[in-house]
Amino acid sequence: MDVDVAKHLALIDLLCAREFPAEYGRTEHGESGPGYHIAELQTSGEFWEDDGTGSAETAVQYDADRDGLGERLVERWGPPQHFSLYSVGARAMDGEDIEEPWDGLSSHVPDVHLWQSPGSGRWVALGVSQWDKELPFQLLAVVTDRDPP
């Protein structure tokens, strides 16, 4: 097992067991709020001087990293649901009140691979974030007790 994958799985296990805070805040792994934890597992460099090739290669690599980590979760919990956040973002833009973490994620993560952890009953999602074409990619793990919208 790759060391990063082992470390990421241990962090997901920790977040599945950890209580959620009463208020939003930054943590040593990312951010947490009422009902969720978001861990920033890895972050790429920025793409300010990129002609598009570097960001395209990085996007492919981050998807592969998400899928590789996801394979380990498939061993635990079976195949994931592939959940698009596009319509969630559109609904939020139309004024619908969407709970966090789903509302915030929908603005920079196009879709997630989603499992429900049988031990904790919490949702575990893996996604690749990029806020804008010049900004870094991030591999995110989300643990929440909020059902997907």
Query: What digits encode the pLDDT tens for the residues 63-90?
Result: 999 999 999 999 999 999 999 999 999 9
Q: How confident is the model at residue 116 (pLDDT cuts 50, 70, 90)?
A: very high
* Spatial CA neighbour of 120 closest among 7, 25, 20: 20
Mean pLDDT, range 125-141, rounded to an integer: 93
Instruction: Provide the domain limits for residue 78.
Output: 3-18+41-144
* Spatial CA neighbour of 122 closest among 29, 32, 20: 20
Higher pLDDT, 47 or 50: 47
What's at 129, amino acid-wise?
S
Phi, then psi, of 49 in degrees rounded to 5: -105, 15
pLDDT of residue 111: 96
Both tokens of 59, joined, read 């996007």
How many domains are there within the chain? 1
Sheet with 81-84, edge to edge strand ranges: 25-26, 30-33, 36-43, 137-144, 123-130, 111-116, 81-84
Quick check: is 61 in a domain? yes
Quick check: is 82 in a domain? yes
Sort strands 30-33 and 36-43 into parallel, antiparallel or unpaired: antiparallel
